[in-house]
Amino acid sequence: MSPKDPGPAISPRKCHGGSVSTPLESWVEESARLTKPAKIVWCDGSQAEADRLVDDMLRDGTFIQLNQKTFPNSYLHRSNPNDVARTEHLTFICTRKKEDAGPTNNWMAPEEAKDKVRPLFDGAMKGRTMYVVPYILGPATSPYSKVGVEITDSAYVVASMRVMSRMGKAALDRLGSSSDFVPGLHSLGDLDPERRFILQFPEEKLIWSVGSGYGGNALLGKKCFALRIASWMAREQGWMAEHMLILGLEDPTGKVTYMAAAFPSACGKTNLAMMVSALESQGYRVWTVGDDIAWMHVGSDGMLRAINPESGFFGVAPGTNGKTNPNVIKALHHDSIFTNVAMTESGEPWWEGLDGDPQESLVNWKGEKWTSSKGPAAHPNSRYTVPAKQSPSISAHWEDPEGVPISAFIFGGRRARVAPLVYEARNWQHGVFVGAMMASETTAAATGAVGVTRRDPMAMLPFCGYNMADYFRHWLDMGPKLKHPPRVFHVNWFRKGPDGKLLWPGYGENVRVLKWMLERIEGRADANDTPIGYVPTRASLTLEGLSVSPGTIEELLHVDSNDWAEELDATGKFFEKFGKRLPAEIRAEHNALAERLQRVSLTPK
């Protein structure tokens, strides 16, 4: 099925006999005519193919071999220094009507976008190989999974897609001669940000990406399809595509409760999903279903059922170590790809926060001998790419075709102030409002300033493929379709004290917060009814064995009316952007919160 060298660039793959092309073959042919590659390779996802790709990449320097004793089958890739993060300002939603993309997305009209970007694809693959990469998002046998095909001239993208999705023959088998796939055309172009565009055409379910070889810009199954295009499909078809991890919390009886959590990029989704629980001796364990994206449908049991469309983790390396994420450290010791990390003298990957101080003998992420004057040895957004099945924490149910039932949604951001450690929304509608008013400090996952607070509803600001007001509407409409809608919580692991230090230890200790949520779901945990929602009483949290002072816990749980009044102003301004399109329920929740805060401030102390 996959000829090693399929010959002249413009010949489609003829495997159906006769001369009638399938929709896929026609699109490949059309793309080849535009990009003019030297040859076309149809990827089958086999080990032999992967080995060939690795050999090619070692030969041309795209891959650098790591220490094969301690990191067998693992490689380092250094991307172009101007291509190290998602570029949100170069990412466009191309809908016929501007209002359908909404005020939070960059927009171009589809024909204008194509006219502008087609010349960048014209001849872009001259002298290069065009890889045709068919992939399935979701378990191969799930009715909820979908097929995409990425055309790319980057072997690194092919190798990464093999980890991140079910790539190759299985996808072609699922597709057959159908037109039901999302085409994504990708070329490295010349890697100049002036000629970099990441275009989503949700109405025709098409992706074009040129000028970047980095992660979410180039692995088109990830953000472009599994979130931007899929969120549009999900609204059309009555399901949800969310920037959420999926985890299972096992209790001492062995019962597992599944939760999905939305945090912005580089705010600890992978670490939470793969957590080694600090309460393991009490019988609480965390199992991983996914670390970044959840596709959720109304199941026949009336529960929201979640699948992970991906099959690997593309995680942020800096700060990852045996304490913050021991499971991933174990997972990534073989068959892993590292991007923009540093390398030790013995050929092992290294990043800030892994262990010890950087050594003078390191080679930094740019391939230079590291010295302290050169800044961090690993790029702050350096990544590991590792198959999900390699994690000791992987759930036995992570590939269940019908998905796992979600009992809780968790929203969270990086907030030095304002948001308490955890609170629970009053009901579904209030929960949607809590998600809609989410904010977080920006991180290195995208280009631009780091540490600036921005509104990031449901952690979907860079990923929602349509008008966010309509997205809130869709969320509001989903709750009543469920017999048991998930309970909605908000967390903040990042609150700081007056000395600027984090108040909460985080990582494995976060299980204490998950346990409180579980007990809320089961009707066993106490809470104070505050203007923002239900905040745990101190006694309802399991704090034994934790060296955090009672005063600090008070601070973590404190709801400051002045801070929240400011927050209300900021969210009000953000919601104004949506004009009349903002659902009345969101406005009503905003007013209700204002009234509750007002009442508290009038109550004599």
List the catalytic residues: 267
| 583 contact choice in Mn ion, ligand OXD, none (CB below 5 to 8 Å, kind-dependent) | none
Phi, psi of 415 (to 5 degrees): -130, 120
What distance in Å separates the CA atoms of residue 212 and residue 234, rounded to the nearest whole number? 27
For the segment 111-150, give every residue that binds Mn ion (CB under 5 A). Answer: none
CB of 292 to ligand OXD, least distance (A): 5
| 508 contact choice in Mn ion, ligand OXD, none (CB below 5 to 8 Å, kind-dependent) | none
Closer to ligand OXD by CB, 31 or 382: give it: 382
CB of 244 to ligand OXD, least distance (A): 11
Instruction: Give yes or no for a contact between 375 and 362, defined as CB atoms under 8 angstroms apart.
Output: no
Number of residues that bind Mn ion (CB under 5 A): 2
CB of 292 to Mn ion, least distance (A): 4
| 314 contact choice in Mn ion, ligand OXD, none (CB below 5 to 8 Å, kind-dependent) | ligand OXD
What distance in Å separates the CA atoms of residue 248 and residue 24, rounded to the nearest whole number? 38
For residue 491, give the nearest of 270, 264, 316 by alpha carbon. 264
CB of 215 to ligand OXD, least distance (A): 5
What distance in Å separates the CA atoms of residue 290 and residue 491, rounded to the nearest whole number? 19
Closer to ligand OXD by CB, 256 or 460: give it: 460
| Rounded to 5°, angle at Cα 245 from 571 and 463 | 50
Give the residue closest to ligand OXD by C-beta.
Answer: 265
| 212 contact choice in ligand OXD, Mn ion, none (CB below 5 to 8 Å, kind-dependent) | none
Closer to Mn ion by CB, 50 or 459: give it: 459
In terms of C-beta distances under 8 Å and separation of at least 24 residues, what long-range contacts does 427-431 make, across chains too? 428/476, 428/479, 428/480, 428/485, 428/488, 429/476, 429/479, 429/585, 429/589, 430/488, 430/533, 430/589, 431/479, 431/487, 431/488
Question: Which span sits near Mn ion by CB under 5 A: 171-179, 284-292, 503-511, 579-587?
Answer: 284-292
| 445 contact choice in Mn ion, ligand OXD, none (CB below 5 to 8 Å, kind-dependent) | ligand OXD
Can you give the binding site for ligand OXD, defined by CB under 6 A?
86, 215-216, 265, 292, 314, 445
Give the number of other CB atoms < 10 A from CB of residue 143: 11
CB of 314 to Mn ion, least distance (A): 8
What distance in Å separates the CA atoms of residue 362 and residue 368, rounded to the nearest whole number? 8
231 is a site residue for Mn ion (CB under 5 A):
no
For residue 237, give the nearest of 181, 176, 310, 298 by alpha carbon. 298
Closer to ligand OXD by CB, 459 or 525: give it: 459
65, 116, 158, 263 from 68: Cα distances, Å: 7, 45, 21, 35
What distance in Å separates the CA atoms of residue 509 and residue 422, rounded to the nearest whole number? 13
Give the residue closest to Mn ion by C-beta.
Answer: 292
35 is a site residue for Mn ion (CB under 5 A):
no
Question: Which span sits near Mn ion by CB under 5 A: 159-167, 192-200, 230-238, 285-293?
Answer: 285-293
For residue 118, give the nearest of 189, 56, 54 by alpha carbon. 189
Closer to Mn ion by CB, 49 or 83: give it: 83
Q: Supply the DSSP symbol for 453.
A: E
Closer to ligand OXD by CB, 314 or 409: give it: 314
292 is a site residue for Mn ion (CB under 5 A):
yes
Q: Which residues contact 41 (CB under 8 A, 6 or more apart)?
A: 2, 4, 5, 6, 129, 130, 131, 132
CB of 81 to ligand OXD, least distance (A): 18
Phi, psi of 112 (to 5 degrees): -60, -45
Closer to Mn ion by CB, 149 or 273: give it: 273
Phi, psi of 569 (to 5 degrees): -60, -50
Dihedral of the CA atoms 279, 282, 283, 289 (nearest 10)? Answer: -10
CB of 227 to ligand OXD, least distance (A): 9
379, 518, 545 from 281: Cα distances, Å: 37, 17, 11
CB of 520 to ligand OXD, least distance (A): 28
Ordered DSSP codes for 37-69: -SEEEE----HHHHHHHHHHHHHHTSSEE--TT
CB of 191 to ligand OXD, least distance (A): 19
Dihedral of the CA atoms 595, 599, 601, 605 (nearest 10)? Answer: -160
Residue 393, amino acid:
S
| 86 contact choice in Mn ion, ligand OXD, none (CB below 5 to 8 Å, kind-dependent) | ligand OXD
Dihedral of the CA atoms 392, 397, 401, 402 (nearest 10)? Answer: -140
Closer to Mn ion by CB, 85 or 147: give it: 85
Closer to Mn ion by CB, 168 or 315: give it: 315
| 53 contact choice in ligand OXD, Mn ion, none (CB below 5 to 8 Å, kind-dependent) | none
For the segment 258-277, give every residue that binds Mn ion (CB under 5 A). Answer: 265
| 414 contact choice in Mn ion, ligand OXD, none (CB below 5 to 8 Å, kind-dependent) | none
User: Which residues, in sequence order, are bridge partners of residue 338?
Assistant: 76, 384
| 309 contact choice in Mn ion, ligand OXD, none (CB below 5 to 8 Å, kind-dependent) | none
Q: Which residues bind Mn ion (CB under 5 A)?
A: 265, 292
